[in-house]
Amino acid sequence: MNDTSIPPSSETAGSSAMPAIEQPSRREAYIELTKMRISVMVLFTFAVPAILEAGSDLNLFVLLTAMAGMLLLACSGNAMNMFIERYTDFLMPRTSNRPLPAGRLSATEVATFGAVTLGASLAILLACTNWQTTLCGFANWILYVFIYTPLKRHHWINTEIGSIAGALPVLMGSLATTGTVGVIGWSLFGVLVFWQFPHFMAIAWKYRHQYEKGGLKMLTVVDPSGLRAGRKSVITAVLLIVVSLVPVILLPTIWHIVFFSLVTMGLGWPYLKASIVFARDRTDQTARSLMLSSLLYLPLYMLALVIACWT
């Protein structure tokens, strides 16, 4: 039974005379709940430190089962995010066709899916890794679902909370294969935290009117001029460059150091430049360029880190 507290869309109301439009299947609706592209990216940020921190002591079984647990945890968090934001999602065009506001799944079904995937995730992590990883995973889920998500309707600081939640999988990866967090884990955690700010500021600017309509207190809604969003993008892009160079202290030769430093600076400078351009001229076009730069930065940085540590 669908959640009847969400009003029907205009296409549904009084549309008996309209020809039927094929709707996505329930299976597809459940897949949408997981935000799979985001979940897969989270999985990579989990796996890279897990592999690099363990080095030659890597246990493949532990890695693969831990990745399964991490994926389920991300899927659960994303589903519960949609559960909590179902009324807000209905008000914004970019989210109004999600399974809950579109009436393709009920609130009970989504909450059950979130609870089951959370339970399976924690059981796998506890059975196949260690209590530290499990506790960190549960804390990450709580932070994302019950603090970050509802805070979006009350205060712009939600982005700061969200950046920590988005970076915690890095620490989980380190803990899963070693039981501790080393230099690579902490430095990559810092990279993820600072990387998210220009990325999110660009998104918040591009969809600022929809966020305002949905009642979300993003920084670009609280400060419609975008000055604070632009300034925060530049500051965090600078901090990102500094933190991203920390792993050089672990590299074995001058050639490794030179390679990693050049690649890191080569990735960090365009990201900073895009942030500066956005801060100076806050338009949808500069926000889009900043967002594209952010999407290129993270996978290329992690690839450079893997190459520098493994060769």
Residue 16 predicted with pLDDT over 80: no
Q: What is the pLDDT of residue 24?
A: 60
Q: What is the pLDDT of residue 23?
A: 56
Question: How does pLDDT run across 63-119, given as a tens digit for each residue?
Answer: 999 999 999 999 999 999 999 999 999 899 989 999 999 999 999 999 999 999 999
Mean pLDDT over 12-19 rounds to: 41
Mean pLDDT over 176-203 rounds to: 97
What rounded mean pLDDT belongs to the chain?
92
Residue 14 predicted with pLDDT over 50: no
Mean pLDDT over 148-175 rounds to: 96
Question: How does pLDDT run across 249-293, given as a tens digit for each residue?
Answer: 999 999 999 999 999 999 999 999 999 999 999 999 999 999 999
Give the pLDDT band of residue 166 (cuts 50, 70, 90): very high
Cβ(91)–Cβ(209) under 8 Å?
Answer: no
Percent of the chain with pLDDT over 70: 92
Mean pLDDT over 29-33 rounds to: 94
Q: What is the pLDDT of residue 204?
A: 96
Q: What is the pLDDT of residue 13?
A: 41
Q: What is the pLDDT of residue 311?
A: 77
Q: What is the pLDDT of residue 310?
A: 86
Residue 9 predicted with pLDDT over 60: no
Reading the block at residue 232, the tokens are: 């925060």
Q: What is the pLDDT of residue 12?
A: 39
Question: How does pLDDT run across 205-228, given as a tens digit for each residue?
Answer: 999 999 999 999 999 999 999 999
Percent of the chain with pLDDT over 90: 89
Give the pLDDT band of residue 17 (cuts 50, 70, 90): very low
Q: Global pTM?
A: 0.89
* Secondary structure in 3-state letters for the chain: CCCCCCCCCCCCCCCCCCCCCCCCCHHHHHHHHCCHHHHHHHHHHHHHHHHHHHHHHCCHHHHHHHHHHHHHHHHHHHHHHHHHCHHHHHHCCCCCCCCCCCCCCCHHHHHHHHHHHHHHHHHHHHHHCCHHHHHHHHHHHHHHHHHHHHHCCCCCCHHHHHHHHHHHHHHHHHHHHHCCCCHHHHHHHHHHHHHHHHHHHHHHHHCHHHHHHHCCCCHHHHCCCCHHHHHHHHHHHHHHHHHHCHHHHHCCCHHHHHHHHHHHHHHHHHHHHHHHHHHHCCCHHHHHHHHHHHHHHHHHHHHHHHHHHHC
Q: What is the pLDDT of residue 143?
A: 97
Q: What is the pLDDT of residue 25?
A: 82
The rounded distance, in Å, linking the Cα atoms of 149 and 309 is: 36
